[in-house]
Amino acid sequence: MTDHLPKENCYAPLCKYDDTWYPSYLIPGVVASKQLFKAEEGDIILASLPKSGTTWLKALTFSIVNRNRFKPQDSPLLTTQPHDLVLGLEFEHFRDGVPQNLDQPSRPRIFATHVSHASLSDSIKASNNCRIVYVCRNPLDNFMSYWHFFSSSKSQYIQGETIEELFVKYCKGVHPYCPFWSHNLEYWKASLEKPEKVLFLTYEDLKEDTVSQLKRLALFLGFPFTEEEEAQGLVEEISMVCSLGNLKSLEVNQNGVRDHGMPVSSYFRKGEVGDYINHLTPSMVETLNKLTHEKFAGSGLVF
């Protein structure tokens, strides 16, 4: 299936499909989810580049829509990894091109994906009742978070490349699920065209005021918090349960491995805005900032 696609290496073998560099082993899942996924009324799609706040968004969304089933103190998040509560379309649901486990015990169904907007199923894009939430992150922190994630891994798929080599590739757009700019811009434009269908969040805004963003997310999803819930402090409680500090402290998120031997604990690191400053040289920062400024010029999207 990948024979005719352009190829590169960055952390792992990549193939270019829909102008996006996907990990080669995921191409069957990416293509099948695009061609076969049928959106149902009310479906929620959580989209992001890896290392942009996916885990957090899964925890927050799951908590919002299931809050009548589980009180914060009984949240499944306390005993189950966020990535097992909300599965990835191209990962778990269409792995190897085979649809599986698409039904879910409750409605709305929630799915996650890292694919570009161009690679989303037409059924998602055409549906009037299916909502997409995109979370993005400053590319400097996104790049560094990715690097830390794989540096901590003992995965056989990770190939030895220096941070400088990886940075050059990131700037060229050759990085898993990248180019960063087109991935962001496609969802950004969709959110401007159909604000009732696509919500564009940033990791930085979530960090700065989690409670306000949580309310915004709940409203968008059609599950607004009532005055009574707000008065009871439910928004703050959900924010606390989903916080990095809490999730990181839970046994379920400390042990075991996920895809290709990635330690579960590596999904929960520092979660700081601007951590790149401790790892990238001023010249690297300038290069990526300049590039981002150029690529986003005129779009209204600023980092």
Which positions touch ligand A3P (CB under 6 A)? 48, 50-56, 59, 141, 145, 148, 242-244, 247, 267-271, 275
Q: Burial of 251 by CB count in 10 Å (0-12 exposed, 13-18 middle, 19+ buried)?
A: exposed
Is cis: bond before 179, omega within 30 of 0? yes
CB of 175 to ligand A3P, least distance (A): 14
Closer of 105 and 245 to ligand A3P (Cβ): 245
Q: Burial of 223 by CB count in 10 Å (0-12 exposed, 13-18 middle, 19+ buried)?
A: middle
Closer of 129 and 249 to ligand A3P (Cβ): 249
CB of 152 to ligand A3P, least distance (A): 10
Q: Are strands 12-17 and 20-23 parallel, antiparallel or unpaired?
A: antiparallel
CB of 109 to ligand A3P, least distance (A): 20
Helix, strand, coil % in the chain, rounded to nearest 5:
50, 15, 35
CB of 265 to ligand A3P, least distance (A): 10
Answer yes or no: are the C-beta atoms of 210 and 201 closer than 8 Å.
Answer: no
Active site residue 260: no
Closer of 15 and 206 to ligand A3P (Cβ): 206
Q: Which of 4, 83, 93, 114 is catalytic?
A: 114
Closer of 43 and 141 to ligand A3P (Cβ): 141
Reading the block at residue 297, the tokens are: 């010029």
The catalytic residues are 114
